Protein backbone atom coordinates (compact mmCIF):
# COMPACT_ATOMS: atom_id res chain seq x y z
CA UNK A 1 0.00 0.00 0.00
CA UNK A 2 1.42 3.35 -1.02
CA UNK A 3 1.49 6.36 1.27
CA UNK A 4 -1.52 8.63 1.26
CA UNK A 5 -1.21 11.60 -1.09
CA UNK A 6 -2.21 14.73 0.82
CA UNK A 7 -0.64 17.54 -1.22
CA UNK A 8 -0.72 18.55 -4.85
CA UNK A 9 1.49 20.99 -6.67
CA UNK A 10 -0.84 23.48 -8.34
CA UNK A 11 1.35 26.21 -9.81
CA UNK A 12 -0.12 29.15 -11.65
CA UNK A 13 2.25 30.10 -14.41
CA UNK A 14 1.96 32.78 -17.07
CA UNK A 15 4.84 33.07 -19.54
CA UNK A 16 4.88 36.46 -21.25
CA UNK A 17 7.08 38.05 -23.85
CA UNK A 18 7.38 41.70 -22.90
CA UNK A 19 8.28 44.45 -25.32
CA UNK A 20 9.84 47.31 -23.39
CA UNK A 21 8.14 49.97 -25.50
CA UNK A 22 9.49 53.35 -26.51
CA UNK A 23 9.62 55.00 -23.08
CA UNK A 24 11.24 52.15 -21.13
CA UNK A 25 13.45 51.58 -24.15
CA UNK A 26 15.18 54.96 -23.75
CA UNK A 27 15.62 54.30 -20.01
CA UNK A 28 17.27 50.93 -20.66
CA UNK A 29 19.49 52.27 -23.45
CA UNK A 30 20.77 55.01 -21.12
CA UNK A 31 21.67 52.40 -18.48
CA UNK A 32 23.99 50.84 -21.05
CA UNK A 33 25.91 54.15 -20.95
CA UNK A 34 25.80 54.21 -17.13
CA UNK A 35 23.31 57.07 -17.22
CA UNK A 36 19.95 57.23 -15.44
CA UNK A 37 17.28 59.10 -17.36
CA UNK A 38 13.65 59.94 -16.82
CA UNK A 39 11.03 61.81 -18.76
CA UNK A 40 9.36 65.10 -17.83
CA UNK A 41 5.59 65.43 -17.89
CA UNK A 42 4.71 68.42 -20.12
CA UNK A 43 1.72 69.11 -17.86
CA UNK A 44 2.88 69.06 -14.22
CA UNK A 45 6.62 69.12 -15.05
CA UNK A 46 7.26 66.11 -12.79
CA UNK A 47 10.27 64.01 -13.76
CA UNK A 48 9.48 60.29 -13.70
CA UNK A 49 12.33 57.87 -13.03
CA UNK A 50 11.86 55.26 -14.31
CA UNK A 51 9.85 56.96 -17.04
CA UNK A 52 6.32 55.82 -17.77
CA UNK A 53 4.00 55.95 -20.76
CA UNK A 54 1.72 58.58 -19.32
CA UNK A 55 1.51 60.87 -16.31
CA UNK A 56 -0.91 59.37 -13.75
CA UNK A 57 -2.00 62.88 -12.71
CA UNK A 58 -2.21 64.73 -16.05
CA UNK A 59 -2.61 61.74 -18.40
CA UNK A 60 -0.09 63.48 -20.66
CA UNK A 61 2.32 61.52 -22.81
CA UNK A 62 5.88 61.97 -21.54
CA UNK A 63 7.93 64.89 -22.79
CA UNK A 64 11.65 65.56 -22.83
CA UNK A 65 14.24 63.10 -21.62
CA UNK A 66 15.99 64.30 -18.45
CA UNK A 67 19.18 62.84 -17.03
CA UNK A 68 19.09 62.67 -13.24
CA UNK A 69 21.79 62.26 -10.59
CA UNK A 70 23.12 58.90 -9.49
CA UNK A 71 22.73 60.06 -5.91
CA UNK A 72 19.41 60.15 -4.12
CA UNK A 73 17.45 59.72 -0.92
CA UNK A 74 15.78 56.64 0.54
CA UNK A 75 12.08 57.52 0.88
CA UNK A 76 10.86 54.11 2.03
CA UNK A 77 12.34 50.68 2.56
CA UNK A 78 11.55 47.14 3.58
CA UNK A 79 13.92 44.51 4.91
CA UNK A 80 13.31 41.07 3.41
CA UNK A 81 14.24 38.48 6.01
CA UNK A 82 12.41 35.41 4.76
CA UNK A 83 13.41 33.19 1.84
CA UNK A 84 10.99 32.45 -0.99
CA UNK A 85 11.09 30.44 -4.17
CA UNK A 86 12.76 32.23 -7.04
CA UNK A 87 14.55 34.68 -4.74
CA UNK A 88 17.67 36.13 -6.35
CA UNK A 89 19.41 37.54 -3.26
CA UNK A 90 20.13 35.89 0.08
CA UNK A 91 18.09 37.42 2.92
CA UNK A 92 18.29 39.62 4.82
CA UNK A 93 18.46 42.47 2.35
CA UNK A 94 16.84 45.87 2.06
CA UNK A 95 14.56 46.91 -0.80
CA UNK A 96 14.08 50.64 -1.00
CA UNK A 97 12.48 53.50 -2.84
CA UNK A 98 15.34 55.75 -3.91
CA UNK A 99 14.38 59.20 -5.15
CA UNK A 100 17.31 60.38 -7.22
CA UNK A 101 18.25 64.06 -7.18
CA UNK A 102 16.35 65.69 -10.03
CA UNK A 103 13.58 63.07 -10.02
CA UNK A 104 10.08 63.40 -8.62
CA UNK A 105 9.35 59.68 -8.32
CA UNK A 106 11.23 56.92 -6.54
CA UNK A 107 13.07 54.05 -8.16
CA UNK A 108 12.72 50.64 -6.51
CA UNK A 109 16.08 49.02 -5.87
CA UNK A 110 18.33 47.25 -3.37
CA UNK A 111 20.47 48.91 -0.68
CA UNK A 112 23.93 47.38 -0.31
CA UNK A 113 27.20 47.80 1.61
CA UNK A 114 25.33 48.57 4.82
CA UNK A 115 23.83 46.47 7.59
CA UNK A 116 20.09 46.15 6.93
CA UNK A 117 19.40 47.36 10.46
CA UNK A 118 21.16 50.64 9.66
CA UNK A 119 19.03 51.52 6.63
CA UNK A 120 16.92 54.60 7.30
CA UNK A 121 14.45 56.83 5.52
CA UNK A 122 16.31 59.99 4.50
CA UNK A 123 19.59 58.13 4.01
CA UNK A 124 21.62 59.45 1.08
CA UNK A 125 22.66 56.71 -1.32
CA UNK A 126 24.49 56.42 -4.64
CA UNK A 127 24.35 53.94 -7.47
CA UNK A 128 26.93 51.16 -7.72
CA UNK A 129 27.19 49.80 -11.24
CA UNK A 130 27.52 46.12 -11.99
CA UNK A 131 30.61 44.76 -13.71
CA UNK A 132 28.58 43.65 -16.70
CA UNK A 133 26.42 46.41 -18.13
CA UNK A 134 23.32 45.32 -19.99
CA UNK A 135 20.10 47.12 -20.86
CA UNK A 136 18.41 46.02 -17.62
CA UNK A 137 17.96 47.60 -14.19
CA UNK A 138 20.34 44.90 -12.88
CA UNK A 139 23.14 47.02 -14.41
CA UNK A 140 22.81 49.02 -11.22
CA UNK A 141 24.04 46.47 -8.69
CA UNK A 142 22.55 48.32 -5.74
CA UNK A 143 22.62 51.70 -4.02
CA UNK A 144 25.12 52.22 -1.19
CA UNK A 145 25.26 54.95 1.46
CA UNK A 146 27.09 57.97 0.04
CA UNK A 147 30.74 57.91 0.96
CA UNK A 148 30.87 54.18 1.74
CA UNK A 149 34.00 52.57 0.37
Partner 1 sequence: MAKERFVAPFVLEYSYKRSLGPVLSRFMTGLQACRIEGSRTVDGRVLVPPSEYDPETGEDTGELVEVGPKGTVQAWTWVAEPRPDHPLQQPFAMALILLDGADTALTHAVDALESDMTTGLRVKPRWRAERVGHIRDIEAFEPAS
**Nearer Cβ to partner 1 (22/101):** 22
Distance CA 128, CA 112 (A): 9
> What is the nearest approach in angstroms of partner 1 to the Cβ of residue 104?
25
Q: At closest approach, how far in Å is the CB of 90 from partner 1?
A: 19
Is 148 within 8 Å of 113 (Cβ atoms)?
Answer: yes
Closer residue to partner 1 (CB): 62 or 72: 62
CA 43, 26, 137, 124 torsion-angle sign: negative
The mark string for 87-126 relative to partner 1 (x by CB under 8 A, - otherwise) is ----------------------------------------
Region near partner 1 per CB under 8 A, out of 15-23, 61-69, 89-97, 141-149 = 15-23
- The verdict on 12 binding partner 1 (CB under 8 A) reads yes
CB-nearer residue toward partner 1: 11 or 122: 11
Q: State which of residues 25, 33, 101, 118 lies at the interface with partner 1 (CB under 8 A).
A: 25
Collapse the DSSP code of 26 into the 3-class scheme (helix H, G, I; strand E, B; otherwise coil) and give the result.
Answer: helix
- Cα atoms in the 13 Å half-sphere on the side-chain side of 65: 13
Q: Is the Cβ–Cβ distance between 129 and 143 less than 8 Å? A: no
Q: Is 27 strand, coil or helix?
A: helix
Would the CA dihedral through 141, 72, 56, 80 be positive or negative?
positive
C-beta of 4 vs 117, nearer to partner 1: 4
Number of residues that bind partner 1 (CB under 8 A): 27
- Report in angstroms how near the CB of residue 62 gets to partner 1 at its nearest: 17
* Total Cβ atoms within 10 A of residue 23: 19
Amino acid sequence: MSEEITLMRAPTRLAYTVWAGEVTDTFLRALQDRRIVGRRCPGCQAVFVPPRGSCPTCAEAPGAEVEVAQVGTVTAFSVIRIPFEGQVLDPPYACAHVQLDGADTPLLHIIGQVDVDDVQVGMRVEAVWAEVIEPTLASIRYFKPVGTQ
